[in-house]
Amino acid sequence: MSVFGDAIAALRQVVLIQSRLDQLDQRISRMGDDVGGLADATLALRDRISRLEGVIEGAAMAAAGAAANRQRRIAE
């Protein structure tokens, strides 16, 4: 009877291991989806930062041009 009990215990362990592997596979899939979402968010953030940098550079150029115009007027 102990051989039969050992076989049942071994099968039970195999089923538990399979169940844990299935759960792990689902978690890995969800993590992959999360990483994909993070990559998309990072790209969107990069685009927004690039636009802000462009606005700041444009404002700096406009300010520099306005300062140069003021200096020319004073010199004339």
Residue 74 has a pLDDT of 61
Residue 71 has a pLDDT of 66
* Separate counts of helices (H) and strands (E) for the chain: 1, 0
What's the chain's length in residues? 76
Residue 73 has a pLDDT of 61
Which pTM was predicted?
A: 0.54
Residue 65 has a pLDDT of 80
Mean pLDDT, consecutive 10-residue segments, the chain of 76 residues?
89 96 97 94 96 94 78 61
